[in-house]
Amino acid sequence: MDSKQLLQQNAALPPRRKRLQRFYLFLGISVFASVVYFSYANHQGHDETDTASAPYDFSQHKNGYHSKRLNQPNIVFILTDDQDIVLAGADHMPKTYEMVAQQGAVMENSFVASPLCCPSRSTILSGRFVHNHRAYNNSFIGGCSGTHWQNVVEKEALPVHLQSAGYKTFFAGKYLNQYGKRQSGGTSHVPPGWDTWNGLVGNSKYYNYTLSVDGISEVHGNDPDKDYLTKIIWERAKEFLETVTGGVTQKNEKNFVESPHKNENVVPPPFFIMMSTPSAHAPFDAEPQYMDNFADLKAKRTASFNIANDETKHWLLRLGEQPLSDDIIDKVDDIFRKRLRTLLTVDDMVGDIVSILEAKNLMDNTYVVFASDNGYHLGQFSMPLDKREPYEFDIRVPLMIRGPGIKKGVTLSYPTVNVDLLPTFLDWAGIAIPEYIDGISLKDILMET
């Protein structure tokens, strides 16, 4: 039978038979791809001889411009989880918009190197693309907090550079999806470079989770006042901020703080704070006071919303139910509202942290960066909800940056990728960007506005 006859025969099949045929084809390809992929990933993840070509010399950070502590800015980095920009995922955070976006720059063409949590976060922390940091997916065997990451990449990650240059570093929230699990070293493993560590074990949760607090397990329950993860991140960031600044106000005319000791001034260390919230990731648990917000909102009906049987699209996109049923669309709308509700606590957190920085007269020497690890889809091309796809809604994310030298209220169309964040932070800190870094600094682009 030639190819023409085969196509004619296939066209005559009943619709259900066609779907089954596509399904089994897809299943066969998936099984083959999985065998090849995981064989490779398993080899890479357990290669004990796998080391960097030459360990990076961090001692050089103690010399030169960056050693002039008065010139080293503080950096506050807020990272959300699965927060889109295409579907209006950042449109309902008034405090963040007012205190970060309007006081700085919005990068309207900000993209991620991977539309999946662990690969994207590994890119942010390492400044390397996925094929170089080798965290290919969210599994340990796929490189997430795996052997290569811990033995090579993590030792040269962002906090190690900053700490070696004199920064006090703080982390709270979701790190990598496999962090803290037994095969990844458990909660006793504290990634290098962090002075204060509050790392979530596993994937995003709002309640009933475990934190590694400087290597010690801390178990949380479901009390909204004591356990809601975004609030824990928020409170511990405030505690760190009070500690690192000595609990006093910095003078505007100098980068000195008033010492509690009479007739003595001390130079405060620069600090890097990373707050990595679970919002807006599943299971979409909002704080009690926000449970009823956005009751009338529906998911954004983009041009691709519930598009069915579009033969111009990849056949994988045509495997699911098409079009979506009314019940599924109602579920999509419900998830849209729940996601926005989780972000309201993040908005409160951003507003409070920036207010504290302003009250301490620190904003003249502090950069605030707000970003997400990947986007999301809700009904686009009849896909109900998730990320993972190489389409704009899954790879385009919010990026707002406020700080010294950045013009207020500007929107920049310059394309950026999350691999550019690490070199930008190093550039702000006056640290030479290593050759192995894949990204480029946005410092000059931001200053040119």
CATH number of residue 392's parent domain = 3.40.720.10
398 lies in some domain: yes
- Does the CA dihedral 379-411-96-163 come out positive or negative? positive
Dihedral-angle region of residue 309 (phi above 0 means left; psi in -120 to 50 means alpha; beta otherwise):
left
Domain identity same for 33 and 117: no
395 lies in some domain: yes
264 lies in some domain: yes
Domain identity same for 121 and 31: no
208 lies in some domain: yes
pLDDT for 39 equals 38
Please give the tally of structural domains in the chain. 2
Q: What tokens appear for 211 in the block?
A: 């934190």
Marked catalytic residue, from 93, 99, 106, 117 = 117
Q: Which residues contact 10 (CB under 8 A, 6 or more apart)?
A: 18, 21
Domain identity same for 127 and 28: no
Q: Please indicate whether residue 117 is annotated as part of the active site.
A: yes
Give the H/E segment covering residue 274.
strand 271-276
- What are the angstrom distances between the C-alpha of 155 and each of 147, 148, 270, 439? 12, 10, 21, 18
5 lies in some domain: no
pLDDT for 58 equals 61
Its domain, for residue 265, covers: 61-447
404 lies in some domain: yes
pLDDT for 209 equals 99
Domain identity same for 80 and 40: no
Domain identity same for 280 and 421: yes
205 lies in some domain: yes
Domain identity same for 69 and 25: no
- Nearest-10 crossing angle of helices 326-359, 229-244: 10
CA atoms within 13 A on the CB side of 44: 23
423 lies in some domain: yes
d(CA 365, CA 197) in angstroms, rounded, equals: 24
**Taking the chain (449 residues) in consecutive chunks of 10 residues, what is each chunk's mean pLDDT?**
41 43 40 38 41 57 47 97 95 98 98 98 98 96 96 98 98 98 97 99 98 99 98 99 79 43 63 98 98 97 87 76 90 98 99 98 98 97 92 97 96 97 98 97 89
Which residues, listed in sequence order, are joined to residue 385 by a DSSP beta bridge? Answer: 378
Domain identity same for 28 and 159: no
Domain identity same for 23 and 66: no
Domain identity same for 346 and 325: yes
Domain identity same for 65 and 26: no
Other C-beta atoms lying within 10 Å of the C-beta of residue 73: 20
Other C-beta atoms lying within 10 Å of the C-beta of residue 397: 28
